[in-house]
Amino acid sequence: EDQVTQSPEALRLQEGESSSLNCSYTVSGLRGLFWYRQDPGKGPEFLFTLYSAGEEKEKERLKATLTKKESFLHITAPKPEDSATYLCAVQAVAGSYQLTFGKGTKLSVIP
């Protein structure tokens, strides 16, 4: 069974204080690992797809990296508008492209 574990559950940062969110996963065969951002009361917003170990992707203050067992979402000099829940999900080679989600990390950036 595919599993995704995210840590920490919640993270409070001062504006400008860089940090990383962790996503550990077990999957029979990885098709892709996805990062989403979810604001309260809204659907997840797509951020990144990572396909293989060693891959990195960047978007503004966010950088996602992937190893064979985990992924990190690095946030550099965060701003209050980066406050949200960040979700990690895996898609296995087997199946109909379903996503298995972690429980998310709730990020709060304090001005």
Partner 1 sequence: GAVVSQHPSWVICKSGTSVKIECRSLDFQATTMFWYRQFPKQSLMLMATSNEGSKATYEQGVEKDKFLINHASLTLSTLTVTSAHPEDSSFYICSARDPPGREGMAYEQYFGPGTRLTVT
Binding-site ranges for partner 1 (CB under 8 A): 31-32, 34, 36, 41-46, 49, 87, 91, 96-104
Between 4 and 75, CB nearer to partner 1: 4
Between 15 and 45, CB nearer to partner 1: 45
* Coil, helix or strand at residue 40: coil
Tell how far CA 75 is from the center of its chain. 11
- Cα 74 from Cα 77, distance rounded (Å): 10
Q: How far is the CB of 75 from partner 1 (least distance, A)?
A: 20
How far apart, in Å, are the Cα atoms of 77 and each of 39, 56, 102? 20, 18, 25
Q: How far is the CB of 18 from partner 1 (least distance, A)?
A: 25
Between 41 and 54, CB nearer to partner 1: 41
